[in-house]
Amino acid sequence: MPEKRPHCQLFNRDLSWLGFNDRVLSEAADRTVPALERLRFAAIVSSNLNEFFMVRVAEIARTARNSPKKSYPDGLTAAQLSVQIREEVLRQKSRQAAVLEDILHQLRRSGITVHTRFDGPDPALDAEIRKSLQAIKFTRRKTAEPLPALQSDRLHIFVRFHGEYAVITLEERERRLLRLAAPAGAAVFALAERWICSKVHELFAGREVIEAFPFKMIREHDLRYRPDDEDSLEEYIEDNAQNKLRSRVVRLEVDAPYYSEGAMFLASALRLDSAALYRFDMPLDLRALFAVYSLDGFARLKYPAIIPAVPAPFRKAGRIMSTVARHDVLLHHPYDSFDIVVNFLKEAACDPAVTEISHVVYRAGIKSQVMDALKDAAARGKKVSVYLELKARFDEMNNLRWTRQLRAAGVKVIPPLKGLKVHSKVTQVIKKLPQGPAAYTHLGTGNYHSGTARQYTDLGLLTSNAEIGSEVARYFRSLAAGGSLTRPRTLMVAPVNLHAGVMRLIRAETALHRREGGGLIMAKMNSLVDPDIIKALYEASRAGVRVELLVRGICCLKPGIKGLSENITVLSIVDRFLEHSRIYYFRSGGADRLYLSSADWMPRNFYNRFEIAFPILDPLLKRYVKTVVLRGGLADTVKAWYLQPDGTYSRARPASNAAAVRSQFHFVSLARRSYKGTLLEKRLPSFPDAAGAD
């Protein structure tokens, strides 16, 4: 989107995030994308916006109330930013409504009908819907009194009469998408809330209904536990979850063709100004449409299923630690199976020589083979220690549930740190060998979550390197001791030395380029926000260092500006899988220093979280990450977007007579050919280096 303050050297982080969501919407709008994949992207747009309002818009609103004169690094005040966010969200939702209609039309031609409008009588359809509605719980309130307390994670229907109103609440959000009878090879659905609105006169027979429309509230997700609070963190989380009705409403959405007196009444009753009222003539909360995406029998409307590869050394049980003892192993998910990580823990649980397992959990899912393996290890007498991050946003209650299950299974759950979050992805297994104890360590860029491991691109390293093992062991001891970290030498760890380490690497590359030339920095991450890092990258660019960045989402750096960032390019890839790995590469005069990490280049990751960046030391694995993952992403000409100096993004295009490159599809193809086991089987493709440096 256009940058409103061209004199500033930083883009606004929240407007940049909205730009990312717009690129997701572009996938939904792309008619070359399979129809059900388009529907999934349209639903992701809504889910993303919900979380954006719960967290970021709520925080901006607090700033506007408490520090109205405070400005963000790009110069905008909270009030100014709020106006721009509203304008962009309204534009984005208007586009989403048109895209959704197009998707539903395409699905109808393919045998899937989702009824969203009920303009005329249809006795057969009405009878089917009435039958399905019997399985839905909803409550009906009639009152002329103040609006009752309503939950935000529900859909409601507002019905207005003369001098009075009623509220109907659908208690089960996911079941508002009604599955109706359909011929073989077809599927039919209806949205309950829209049908109820069309029949509301029947529900209130004898009453004159002036208007009826669905609405939904978004409340802030405000988990701001302070270390000096009297309650324990577990008590605080549980209490907070049980009292969601106390959270401030930050957005009111109504599904209606126009702003009405009823919508204004609701906004006033919720103590919202008009800027927090959003009207869309489209169904609310498209997350329910994920159920349509999950339909069996319509594989032709999705991307072809992939079978994650299991490299050759791991196709027999009990081989993981013996393989890792000989050399490091790199895993590239979802192209490589996450089962390898699960089996690493299962193998450790069963191995009588294993004495200890230490593990960090940020997100784990409702069901988890990783958690089952940890419980099994404890049952077999291993010393199992787990740090489970209770402050993982939107997963607080699930992680609290796992905390209690692990304790009941005999696992030592490290007491939660009241201050910083632990966001690192690390597991360590200690095995007693004749020559002494050996550490087998897994470090990754993504969560130990089997579901997201099939949807997110991440990298993981299995290593028996003694120095890395020793520093990871100290890291776990520090967590158990309350978070007092020592400065490591091989790893970079936040909040101790990660920011300083990245700054040092950027400055060293800049200085070396000034002496010898050939400077190159490549990095991949979700978000680039930290102003000090951006300033150092600008300085590197001014010195002539080539800086090539893959930044999926927020990017506050302005590339391609003469005299500031003309040697910097920024690409964002939005495709079938969510790009999630974090990679930092520095040419370093040919030494190729390369780190993988759990951390984006954001102040929160550097200062407010425990993070780990770990080096890739094996030359072959290092070459794979550099040549295939980084350059493969940078070479994408199908699903990549180039960030422009004005803040807009333009789609990458293949050069004339050049074959199109779609990096994610290329990685799938490589995995099918067993492109790597532990020795990469000498099938290491390479992508051209634009400047010829190696």
Catalytic residue positions, numbered? 423
Label residues 258-274 b or e (16+ Cβ within 10 Å = b).
eebebbeebbeebebee
**314: how many CB neighbours lie within 10 A of its CB?**
24
* 360, amino acid identity: V
Any idea which residue has 């509220």 for tokens? 167
Query: What phi and psi, each to the nearest 5 degrees, are found at residue 547?
Result: -120, 115
The DSSP 8-state label assigned to residue 557 in this structure reads B
Neighbouring residues of 105: CB distance < 8 A, sequence distance ≥ 6: none
d(CA 631, CA 334): 18
d(CA 642, CA 573): 9
d(CA 674, CA 306): 14
d(CA 455, CA 443): 19
DSSP labels, 152-189: SSSEEEEEEETTEEEEEEES-GGGGEEEE---TT-EEE
Quick one: which of 352, 353, 357 has its CA closest to 370? 357
**134: how many CB neighbours lie within 10 A of its CB?**
6
The DSSP 8-state label assigned to residue 627 in this structure reads I
Neighbouring residues of 315: CB distance < 8 A, sequence distance ≥ 6: none
Quick one: which of 89, 104, 6 has its CA closest to 50? 89
d(CA 290, CA 300): 17
Quick one: which of 649, 574, 659 has its CA closest to 1? 649
Neighbouring residues of 268: CB distance < 8 A, sequence distance ≥ 6: none
- Within 256-370, strands assigned E span 277-280, 329-333, 354-361
SS3 content of the chain, % helix, strand, coil (to 5): 40, 25, 40
DSSP labels, 45-110: HHHHHHHHIIIIIHHHHHHHHH-TT-B-TTS-BHHHHHHHHHHHHHHHHHHHHHHHHHHHHHHHHT
Whether cis (ω within 30° of 0) applies to the bond prior to 495 is yes
User: Taking each helix axis from N to C terminus, what angle separates 396-408 and 369-379, rounded to the nearest 10 degrees?
Assistant: 20
Neighbouring residues of 342: CB distance < 8 A, sequence distance ≥ 6: 369, 370, 373, 450
